[in-house]
Amino acid sequence: MPVPLPVLAPPALDLSVVIPIYNEEANIPTLYQRLRGVIDPMGVRCEFIFINDGSRDRSLELVQALAEQHADVRFIDFSRNFGHQIAVTAGLDLSQGEAVVIIDADLQDPPELIPQLYQKLHEGYEVVYAKRRRREGESAMKLFTAKLFYRLLARITNVSIPVDTGDFRIISRKVVEALKQMPEQNKFLRGQISWIGYRQTYVEYDRAQRAGGETGYTYGKMIRLALDGITAFSDVPLKAATIMGFSVSGIAFLVLLYTLYARFIAHDYQPGWPSLMVSILFLGGVQLISVGLIGEYLARLSTNVRRRPLYIISKTNIPITLAPPAAP
Ligand code: UDP
Ligand code: MG
């Protein structure tokens, strides 16, 4: 028996603003004020979706209080910390706007840029991302690793993921619907959005420093995000293992020829443990790296095979059944 397809009501809103929250009590009041100050004059029908990603401070209280006072404020409260990318995904899943803005809660992404993004979207683009011209107040280490990561990613992936952009952007309903069809568990939204295609463009801005509170992105989380991005969009590391294997074997073969020559023709043969040690360690290293790389892919494969829901919602004021859409 054919299952009737759900008929989606056309979105009744012009704009959804998706804001992931992790320990942002210091920023929520200012953020909300600045968002309102920017969006109210735009005269659009808008909703604000705050996703509380397992904060351990008063963030949830603040957001719930806002939701009680303003009908257009929605909140989604996760059962625990699921991570920034998943929080944004939940916001997108439950958003209704014809266009959706993704913005960080710490005011590093200036809300004042939203009208410009919105306007550009209406010039016939499906994605307008905000490209950082400068980043202020971040550690040299973060700047360096971020720069390195974006360049590396651009080199080894086959989708062109724009450099120096985070998730601050506006996307159209079309793109949101396309994202919902991508079931991967290891989310790397900027990569997925590039992969989707359509006409995409950017506006430039200077990235401010965090207004208050502390970054929720530890180096551990950053490394995981980087690996998610790389493994989801590139097979180069796997191939690199093969290439390394071939080159090491090639070198080993040359060394073998040389050894035979030294032993039987030149007769200056010395029992050499340094060369032995070096080659054993080198080979061991290459093998471990290769196995590790395979492991990274395999781990993600198994996560996706398990098909767990991406997130668990504990509370929300959005009228839905409390289950994220099941993976197809
Ligand atoms: N965030 C989140 N879950 C996390 C970590 C961060 O929802 O596990 C949110 C955070 O509240 C902020 C955004 O993601 O709105 C970006 O995080 P953060 O500013 O800590 O990252 P950074 O700017 O340092 O890269
Ligand atoms: Mg930040």
pLDDT tens digits, one per residue of 252-263 = 778 778 877 877
- Residues in the chain, overall count: 328
Pocket test for ligand 1, best of 84, 150, 223, 224 (most atoms within 8 A of CB): 84
* Across 72-84, average pLDDT: 93
Neighbours of ion ligand 2 (CB under 5 A): 106, 108
Q: What is the pLDDT of residue 173?
A: 93
Name the band, by pLDDT with cuts 50, 70 and 90, for residue 273: low
Q: Is 53 in the pocket of ligand 1 (CB under 6 A)?
A: yes
Expressed in angstroms and rounded, the spacing between residue 17 Cα and the centre of ligand 1 is 16
**Residue scoring higher pLDDT (74 or 108):** 74
Given a cut of 90, whether residue 155 has pLDDT beyond it is no
Pocket test for ligand 1, best of 53, 187, 224 (most atoms within 8 A of CB): 53
DSSP track, 109-146:
S-GGGHHHHHHHHTTT-SEEEEEEEEE-S--HHHHHHH
- From the CA of 24, which ligand is nearest? 1
pLDDT tens digits, one per residue of 195-254 = 888 888 888 887 777 767 777 777 888 888 888 888 877 777 777 777 777 787 778 778
Sequence-ordered alpha helix ranges (H) in the chain: 28-39, 59-69, 84-93, 114-121, 140-156, 173-180, 189-196, 219-233, 236-261, 273-306
**Residue scoring higher pLDDT (307 or 129):** 129
Name the band, by pLDDT with cuts 50, 70 and 90, for residue 186: confident
Q: What is the pLDDT of residue 225?
A: 83
Pocket test for ligand 1, best of 17, 19, 106, 136 (most atoms within 8 A of CB): 106
Helix (H, G, I), strand (E, B) or coil at 56: coil
Q: Is 22 in the pocket of ligand 1 (CB under 6 A)?
A: yes
d(CA 153, CA 147): 10
Expressed in angstroms and rounded, the spacing between residue 19 Cα and the centre of ligand 2 is 12
Percent of the chain past pLDDT 90, that is, above it, reads 36
pLDDT tens digits, one per residue of 36-56 = 999 999 988 999 999 999 999
Name the band, by pLDDT with cuts 50, 70 and 90, for residue 28: very high
pTM: 0.73
* Across 23-44, average pLDDT: 92
Q: Is 213 in the pocket of ligand 1 (CB under 6 A)?
A: no
